[in-house]
Amino acid sequence: MSTIPANESTIEWKNWNAEIPATLMFVVQDGKILLIEKLTGIGQGKINGPGGKIDPGENALQAIVRECQEELHITPHSPVKMGELHFAMSDIPDIHCHVFMSNTFDGEPTSTREANPLWTALDAIPYDKMWEDDRHWLPQMLDGQLFNGRFEFDGEKVVWMEVCFGDSAKALWIENA
């Protein structure tokens, strides 16, 4: 488990509930990861995986497939859930995010109103252009580790975090999609 800083979080995590359920997808193929330049919504201008909010009536798996279709015109095959992320935000509603991986997909990654596709070498992931939390779980996820992360933000800055990996992380998931 990794934590920063040593002080306590101001969030009462036991009673914490996010307003926004969301998803992320990382397609990895031939030593490359399919990232996006996000053109709309939360994190506009950042590099991230495709994803977005879960619509009412959807589960996380249905939502991530729909978001990949909408944002990049691809349909990932057999997404595998790798982690959950809990973001306590200071200036936007809190987010609970399900993170998936896939190795194959149908379609050709295509620019849309929402995203530009960016195939990126696995050793050149641009963490400086991504959300600050990503560097604390994405490398481990790419090594095949399950994870559960809690992050407290002040604006776009992480002020507290706790990230667990492996089977103990999965035990902390709110939902097993």
Ligand X SMILES: Nc1[nH]c(=O)nc2c1ncn2[C@H]1C[C@H](O)[C@@H](COP(=O)(O)OP(=O)(O)OP(=O)(O)O)O1
CB of 163 vs ligand X, minimal distance in Å: 12
Nearest by Cα to 68 from 110, 30, 98:
110
Using the minimum distance from each CB to ligand X, give the nearer residue, 42 or 159.
Answer: 42
What is the 3 state secondary structure string of 114-156? CEEEEEEEHHHCCHHHCCHHHHHCHHHHHCCCCEEEEEEEECC
CB of 171 to ligand X, least distance (A): 22
Residue placing its CB nearer to ligand X in the complex, 134 or 162: 134
In the bound state with ligand X, the residue whose beta carbon lies nearer, of 84 and 134, is: 134
Looking up tokens 């977005």, which residue turns up? 52
26 contact partners, CB below 8 Å, separation of at least 6? 33, 34, 35, 49, 99, 100, 101, 102, 138, 141, 142
Per-residue DSSP letter, 54: P
- CB count, 10 Å around CB of 72? 25
Distance set, CA 83 to CA 2, 6, 32, 45, 148 (Å): 15, 23, 20, 24, 5
| Shortest separation between residue 125's beta carbon and ligand X, angstroms | 12
Q: How far is the CB of 68 from ligand X (least distance, A)?
A: 11
The binding site for ligand X (CB under 6 A) comprises 22-24, 40-43, 48, 51-53, 87, 95, 97, 131, 133-134
- Residue closer to ligand X (CB basis): 97 or 163: 97
Can you say how many angstroms the Cα of residue 136 is from the centroid of all Cα atoms in its chain? 12
* Residue 17 C-beta: closest distance to ligand X, Å: 16
Q: Nearer Cβ to ligand X, position 106 or 156?
A: 156
